[in-house]
Chains A and B, each alone.
Chain A
Amino acid sequence: EAGVTQSPTHLIKTRGQQVTLRCSPISGHTSVYWYQQALGLGLQFLLWYDEGEERNRGNFPPRFSGRQFPNYSSELNVNALELEDSALYLCASSSRTSGYEQYFGPGTRLTVT
């Protein structure tokens, strides 16, 4: 069974630009979660999508947004990039049958210069 996949692996952007990160959940999983992990810091919850709808969002500004597609894959969009957006962005998925366990993808390393 394929795990959670994310693309791209690495990304370098300049301040003010926009970026889109992509995530494909494990087959059969309907929930997708996005986390930000800045260097030396813990995981910070960004967004939760389930069945195509945004269920909750963390304490991040509106320039962080996303969506979930009918096939349950998801995109995370970050507008007007700032230097402090440099981080590892992790996507995780879960299903109602797997309980609350979340399976993480390998992450996208975003560097903003």
Chain B
Amino acid sequence: GQNIDQPTEMTATEGAIVQINCTYQTSGFNGLFWYQQHAGEAPTFLSYNVLDGLEEKGRFSSFLSRSKGYSYLLLKELQMKDSASYLCAALDYKLSFGAGTTVTVRA
């Protein structure tokens, strides 16, 4: 079975950095995804990690440690438009999503 855990909510100030942690337990593993979902909209792809280490993509970075079953998404230079739900998803033969972390960016 799958077990994906991430915090429910986080609040940060515009321009700051926020780190969203995700732990997972899967029977098999083919990678870890992060998606962003604005209220009422479909999720959009942010990152995919299958090897250990840090993947940087502009203001967003994602880290994976397979041995620890752990990932984080780092959001830098926060902007108001980054207020959204961030979904961690682990892939074996299907994607299993965490419940999502609602990030609120305040001015």
Contact = CB atoms under 8 A, between A and B. Distances in A.
B94 A58 contact: yes
A72 interface: no
Interface residues of A, number: 21
A100 B33 CA distance: 9
Given A42-B100, A45-B95, A58-B94, A104 B43 contact: yes
Interface in B3-43: 30-31, 33, 35, 41-43
B97 A43 contact: yes
Given A33-B95, A58-B94, 13 more contacts: A41-B99, A42-B98, A43-B89, A43-B95, A56-B93, A100-B33, A100-B48, A102-B95, A103-B45, A104-B35, A104-B42, A104-B44, A106-B42
30 contacts: A33-B94, A33-B95, A41-B99, A42-B87, A42-B98, A42-B100, A43-B43, A43-B87, A43-B89, A43-B95, A43-B97, A44-B97, A45-B96, A55-B93, A90-B42, A90-B43, A99-B48, A100-B31, A100-B33, A100-B48, A101-B45, A101-B48, A102-B33, A102-B95, A104-B35, A104-B42, A104-B43, A105-B42, A106-B41, A106-B42
